[in-house]
Amino acid sequence: MRASAFVYPWDVNGDPEAAGRIAGLGVQQVTLASAYHSTRALTPRHPSRRVVTAEHAAVLYPPGDRWQGRELRPYEAGDWAPGDAFGQAAEALADVGLDVHTWVVLAHNSRLGAERPDTSVVNAYGDRYPWAPCIAQPATRAYLVDLAAEAAVRPGAKGTELESLGWYGLAHLHAHDKTAGVGLGEAGQYLMSLCFCPSCRDGYGRQGLEADELAADVRRALEPLWRGHGTPDAGWEAVEKLLGARAAAGTRAWRDGVARGLQEDAVAAVRAQAPDGFRILLHADPASYHCGANAGVDPAHILAVADGVVVPCTGGAELIAPFAAQGRGVVAANLTVVAGMGGSPGTLAADARRAAGLGATELRLYHAGLASDSDLELIAEALSDLA
Query: What is the pLDDT, as a whole number, of residue 225?
Result: 86
Task: Let me know if residue 193 belongs to a domain.
Answer: no
Using one digit for the tens of pLDDT, what is the confidence trace for 199-257? 999 999 999 999 999 999 999 999 988 888 766 678 999 999 999 999 999 999 999 99
19 lies in which domain range? Answer: 2-119+129-176+255-386
CATH number where 88 lies: 3.20.20.80
Amino acid 182: pLDDT: 61
What average pLDDT does range 78-85 have in this prediction? 98
Q: Is residue 113 part of a domain?
A: yes
pLDDT of residue 259: 98
Q: Please report the pLDDT score of residue 230 as a whole number.
A: 66
pLDDT at 55 over 70: yes
Count CA within 13 A, CB hemisphere, residue 166.
28
Residue 154 lies in a domain: yes
In this structure, is residue 371 part of a structural domain?
Answer: yes
Q: Calculate what percentage of the chain has a pLDDT beyond 70.
A: 96
pLDDT over 70 (residue 281): yes
Q: What's the mean pLDDT in 301-321? A: 98
**Within a domain: 192:** no
Number of domains in the chain: 1
Alpha-carbon distance 366 to 383, whole Å? 14
Taking only the tens place, the pLDDT of each residue in 170-213 is 987 666 565 565 667 899 999 999 999 999 999 999 999 999 99
Residues 6+ apart with CB under 8 A from 181: none
As a whole number, mean pLDDT of residues 49-64 equals 97
pLDDT grade for 77, boundaries at 50, 70 and 90:
very high
Examine residue 360 and state whether it is found in any structural domain, yes or no.
yes
Q: Mean pLDDT throughout 140-166?
A: 98
